[in-house]
Amino acid sequence: MSSYRGVIVSDPWLQSQFTQVELRTLKSKFISVRTQHGRVTRDDLPPVFAGMKAFSEMFSEDEIKTFLGESNSDMDEEIDFEAFLRLYLDLQGRAVEKSGGSRSSFLKATTTTFHHAINESEKASYVAHINNYLAEDKFLKDFLPIDPATNALFDLAKDGVLLCKLINVAVPGTIDERAINTKKVLNPWERNENHTLCLNSAKAIGCTVVNIGTQDLVEARPHLVLGLISQIIKIQLLADLNLKKTPQLVELVDDSQEVEELLSLAPEKVLLKWMNFHLKKAGYQKQVTNFSTDLKDGEAYAHLLNALAPEHSTHSTLDAKDPTERANKVLEMAEKLDCKRYLTPKDIVEGSPNLNLAFVAQIFHHRNGLTDSKTTTFAEMMTDDAETSREERCFRFWMNSLGATTYVNNVFEDVRNGYVMLEIVDKIFPGTVNWKQANKPPIKMPFKQVENCNQVIQIGRDLNFSLVNVAGNDIVAGNKKLIIAFLWQLMRFSMLQLLKNLRTHSQGKEITDADILNWANNKVKKAGRTSQMENFKDKSLSSGIFFLELLSAVEPRVVNWGLVTKGETDEDKKLNATYIISVARKLGCSIFLLPEDVIEVNQKMMLTLTASIMYWSLQQQESASDEGEISDEISAEGRKNETGLSGETSDLAVDSESSKTEE
């Protein structure tokens, strides 16, 4: 594997203001300007900064030019990269001031470097969570419990093992622990592999890690480590806040229309809805709308716990005059339900949103107070087959990994207004969306939703997607087959464009599925292996052997063949499939499939897995300036091969008439 190339800045303070991901991005922009003009001056920067999303909505190009000229410096004077970074920080400060404050990284969908303050109470809560859930881990038990008053958490996080294990606590089975490097002392390669595995796996469970790189985790930068830990823990605590995991939640609604609305709610919103449902039944008059100010006085907690646990009900909690005293009584009562004390009375009184959310989620897990009275009726509405559910999951996490403003909780519901689809398209193909014609949520008028979806479909047609008889109102109507088919074409097109952009020798020729197939077969053959695949539906792929040989071919040291089975039984196939996914992520592939996709040979997922490995391999070669070898690897004859997904989308093309009858 290639060594990590970090961007080094001579000023330690300046270096600390950015993640490596941000530094690489800004360095790229700086070099682009220097390449274009021969040097970089302040006068070159207004259009560069105005084109950045962080500033484009806050300042015009003329305003940025005015700011840059305020220091009385010569606008035509050449500046170096560090001066460029300082100007960026100055502009960022103005943007934050204009927006009315700074942003926190904890329990948010994204992580930013601008606000570095560490909340010690939240840190203590996360440490208590880790100490509780990982106490019996065979490797980590020698390092636990962690003392929250020290920096032991960050020291332990530097090797990446803790974060990988925490991901498996949140979503069991995400990482094959055989792929984690767990020696007492790891070398830089092994640490980097663990963090690469961690970040790609975090994306695969729904974390947004747009601004975090492996080097940031190797250095254990506190605000970034805590920001990631908080996202992982949040995913764990809210995992059951959906109708599939807890069908009893249907008790919160009265009709099928409200069920659809419940499906589209974020887990936090479902938790609030559940809380208000019980509070209303208990006669509490106020509506809880947040996990902060509405919970400060402790009254809502007291009513909720009295309603859920009448055997522990007491009026002394409500009779308490002092909010801190009441908060303490609330925690004492919650402990009787086996809720761990991860927050203090002070956290409740001060309205800590993250810790209150975690506390309410704990109460839900231990005593949700719901019945099965409506679950039979609801079960009839949940008609998704296993493959559709897996594909929805795959596209949801892929969409969220792109860092769009809107976080997707349910693909089939959240895309219906068209806006998040426009955001995703704009992330992949900047400049293709006409934002002046887009309607921003909340969108109450149905025709406004149709307008958004029509623009999505038109962009798809401009990209030559196969969209037979498809219109925007098909997305608005929530046609699952059409939505999945469109997103698949979007993902596939994005993937092929990434590969095309690496193929500087291709002279503008399009990459096809046959090229990917041919590359993979040639790579395995050149490594002296005998496995080959006929197409992406080849049933022999279910054993996992071909993909392990492909991974070994692109990086010989990444596969431990002592852990590989023959892939003949169902159990052996699952062991291999799980290992393949973790090894690919450890290598650096951003993939969102599940072991079942490999075992059942889901052709879409087989293509994305192969393409991701190919992209990683070609990236390494391109960075080493080995263009000749790249040209040899992809034979033009591969374009003649027949695959299940060659050229256009073939049997996966979209026909609205046939799909509507199936709906």
Averaged pLDDT, 548-570: 94
Could you tell me the two tokens for 380? 């009839």
CATH of the domain spanning 513-619: 1.10.418.10
- Range from 46-55, 106-115, 497-506 that averages highest in pLDDT: 46-55
Q: Is the pLDDT of residue 503 over 80?
A: no
Residue carrying the six token digits 């761990």: 340
Under 8 Å between Cβ of 483 and 475? yes
Write the burial class of residue 167 (CB in 10 Å: 0-12 exposed, 13-18 middle, 19+ buried).
Answer: buried
Per residue in 521-535, pLDDT (tens digit) is 999 999 999 899 999
Q: Is the pLDDT of residue 637 over 50?
A: no
Under 8 Å between Cβ of 576 and 567? yes
Which neighbouring-strand residues pair with 468?
Answer: 655
pLDDT for 48 equals 86
Under 8 Å between Cβ of 415 and 475? yes
**Identity of residue 268:** E
Averaged pLDDT, 391-395: 93
pLDDT for 85 equals 87
Q: Between these two residues, 243 and 140, which has the higher pLDDT value?
A: 140
How far is 202 from 479, CA to CA, in rounded Å?
29
Q: Which fold has domain 384-502?
A: Actin-binding Protein, T-fimbrin; domain 1 (1.10.418)
Which neighbouring-strand residues pair with 361?
Answer: none
Q: Is the pLDDT of residue 551 over 70?
A: yes
How far is 167 from 172, CA to CA, in rounded Å?
8
Task: Please state, rounded to an integer, the average pLDDT across all residues of the chain.
Answer: 84
Could you tell me the two tokens for 82? 């560090």
Q: With both helix axes pointing from N to C terminus, report the angle between 188-204 and 222-237 in degrees, rounded to the nearest 10.
A: 40
Q: Between these two residues, 341 and 241, which has the higher pLDDT value?
A: 241
Closest CA to 403 of 590, 265, 233, 236: 590
Q: Is the pLDDT of residue 237 over 60?
A: yes
Q: Is the pLDDT of residue 378 over 80?
A: no
pLDDT band for position 508 (cuts 50, 70, 90): low
pLDDT for 622 equals 67
Q: Is 76 helix (H, G, I), strand (E, B) or coil?
A: coil
Could you tell me the two tokens for 615? 């992209």
pLDDT for 380 equals 54
CATH superfamily placement of domain 247-372: Calponin-like domain (1.10.418.10)
pLDDT band for position 645 (cuts 50, 70, 90): very low
Matching fold, domains 247-372 and 513-619: yes
Could you tell me the two tokens for 136? 């019996």
How far is 477 from 501, CA to CA, in rounded Å?
36
Domain ranges of the chain: 12-99, 122-217, 247-372, 384-502, 513-619
Per residue in 74-124, pLDDT (tens digit) is 677 788 888 888 888 888 877 766 665 433 333 333 334 444 567 899 999
Return the percentage of the chain with pLDDT > 90, whole number.
Answer: 52
Per residue in 260-278, pLDDT (tens digit) is 788 878 899 999 999 999 9
Q: Is the pLDDT of residue 214 over 70?
A: yes
Q: Which fold has domain 122-217?
A: Actin-binding Protein, T-fimbrin; domain 1 (1.10.418)
Render 578-622 in DSSP notation, one character per residue. Answer: HHHHHHHHHHT------HHHHHTT-HHHHHHHHHHHHHHHHHHHH
